[in-house]
Amino acid sequence: MSISYSDSLPDLLCEEDSVGVLSGVPLSMDCSSGLEHPAIIEDLIDELIEDEKEFVPDFNCIARSSSQSVDASARLDSVAWILKVHAYYGFQPLTAYLAVNYFHRFLYSGRLPQTSGWPMQLLSVACLSLAAKMEEPLVPSLLDIQVEGAKFVFEPRTITRMELLVLTVLNWRLRSVTPFSFIGFFACKIDPSGSCIGYLISRSTDIILSEIQEASFLEYLPSCIAAAAVLCAASEIPSLMSFVNPENAESWCDGLIKEKIAGCYQLMQSLVLIKNNRRKPPKVLPQFRVMPRARVSRFSDDNASSSSSSISSPYNKRRKLNNSLWVDIEKGSSEQ
């Protein structure tokens, strides 16, 4: 059985600067690797700090929208769905973060006709598909990505048009600056010996993904979220407890603000504590989940035969939308 790639946008990777290309990679995974050229690493971090505001939702738009025009529960459900599909297919952490990032940047641009129902679902599918095409070596077809409780099923051409509209609104800036751009560098700052770097990066990543649904984090820049996550991870290591201080974190690079880091850190700590208290010990030992053969076969082309079989089962249990939705997705994003 062969596994094929989903149809991808040939020009998805447009010309971007070196910072944009590297922004998805945690810097200084090994502290010793950055010692030979510390000035280069510092300059790169400075450029990321300078550019990060271009890759977050407009704070003024968020303030204007508040809860009046954006359905908070629908937003929460959409992000939760993205994370479910992310876990279902075992995507990389960056894929989930980028999908949610695209989702929020588009949502608060005011281009969505309504922030509930099928438009939110379509936006979620398009953003996750774009993020997967950016980061994953294998991408499910546009039909097969609509799993894990998706309330609607959209035809591939409808999703493709929505992808184009998202790309247009985001000005094709998909290689975003994210917290993952900073966590390796910050981990080396709080642990120069490098003895706990692996844990700090892994735990920081888990914390960021576990709290990505919280709208409160939209007011913080990626560098601030990364600093707060590294502090949270370090607070779990006794030997690093004395370094867990937002004021010290402010000195890690220019552009960090201790008050912002402190606020984000306290929010993270409270949410981590709440989630830990909700966890109950399992009554039985967890069992490994065996992936059924049908799940593997979902990686397929979006051709006519795949489309017909995918819709018939199990997708026939969901509502299928007609082609007149949203004025053909704003007329193919103004015919490109």
Tens-place pLDDT, residues 275-293: 776 655 544 444 434 344 3
Query: Can you identify the CATH homologous superfamily of domain 57-176+299-329?
Result: Cyclin-like (1.10.472.10)
Tokens of 335: 């015919």
In terms of C-beta distances under 8 Å and separation of at least 24 residues, what long-range contacts does 108-113 make, across chains too?
108/57, 108/58, 108/61, 108/62, 108/65, 108/70, 109/58, 109/61, 109/169, 110/61, 110/65, 110/69, 111/165, 111/169, 111/330, 113/326
Going from N- to C-terminal start, the domains of the chain cover 57-176+299-329, 179-278
SS3 (DSSP) at 37: coil
Taking only the tens place, the pLDDT of each residue in 15-50 is 444 444 444 545 444 565 554 567 788 888 989 999
Contact 218, 104 (CB under 8 A): yes
pTM (predicted TM-score): 0.75
Taking only the tens place, the pLDDT of each residue in 144-196 is 999 988 888 999 999 999 999 999 999 998 988 999 999 999 999 999 988 89
